[in-house]
Amino acid sequence: MLCLAFALGGNAQPVKMHGRLKVVGTQLMDEHNRPYALRGMSLGWSCWWPRFYTAGTVDWLYADWNCSVIRAAMAVTPRGGYEDDPAGSKKLVETVVDAAIQSGIYVIIDWHGEHLKAEEAIPFFREMAAKYSKYPNVIYEVFNEPAEETWPEVKAYAEAVIKVIREKDPNNLILVGSPRWDQELQLPAADPIKGYSNLMYTMHFYAGTHKQWLRDRTDAAIRSGLPVFISESGGHGAHR
């Protein structure tokens, strides 16, 4: 189980040290077959905080906070997001991704939407995978937080997006959400996506709301064999 938090250690470039990441069982491993935990920062919605989607922000988070990963949360439906301005939204994400590659850290391309829209996500991820497949830095998060959708709906969406990513990028890590804001991990644990490797399932934990019940549910999912990745966490309250 992996957390986005502050990194420890020196300033050696993480990607040079650990290379392309892979999932073995429930554990994320580096290219040397050693367990590896990513630690870093998730940026806010790109439509509301575009000022942070810069090379300077990425460089500072790497050099000052020692982050090994940055998450670029590309807003989809709010005003100013991808549906309003596809080119501008992609440019923000690409700026962060390119800066992460330059700094030698990992980067999550996050489809930060509110509703499942495969017809929009598929061409976006096809383009991102075609552009960045050769870089071991890149991780794809196919949907931020499914809310009202069922697991069969989320699973079908994820399978459609994963298919086009894997056509262009057969190796890099892909993250999949679960219903009720990434809290219903027991559902993919009972019915995981099959036929693809290097998948992990996201859980979002906010200490002011989620408490022991979500930790217990997550531990149970991992014990059942589900690889879990925490792509958002914080100290305040959030979705129940």
What are the backbone angles phi and psi of residue 121, rounded to the nearest 5°? -70, -35
Helix (H) or strand (E) segment spanning residue 144? none
- Catalytic, out of 94, 145, 149, 184: 145
In the sheet that holds 199-206, the strands lie side by side as 40-42, 69-75, 106-112, 138-141, 174-176, 199-206, 228-234
- Residue 51, class by beta-carbon neighbours within 10 Å (0-12 exposed, 13-18 middle, 19+ buried)? exposed
Residue 212 carries which side chain, given as an amino acid letter?
Q
Whole-number Cα distances in Å, 209 to 22, 79, 212, 240: 31, 28, 10, 7
For 1, residues 6+ apart whose C-beta sits below 8 A from its C-beta are: 26, 203, 218, 222, 228, 229, 230
Is 145 part of the annotated catalytic residue set? yes
Residue 46, SS3? coil
Sign of CA dihedral 92, 168, 25, 187: positive
Question: Catalytic site residue 94?
Answer: no
Q: Are residues 198 and 23 in contact, defined by beta-carbon separation less than 8 angstroms? A: yes
Residue 74 near residue 94, CB atoms below 8 Å = no
Active-site positions read: 145, 232
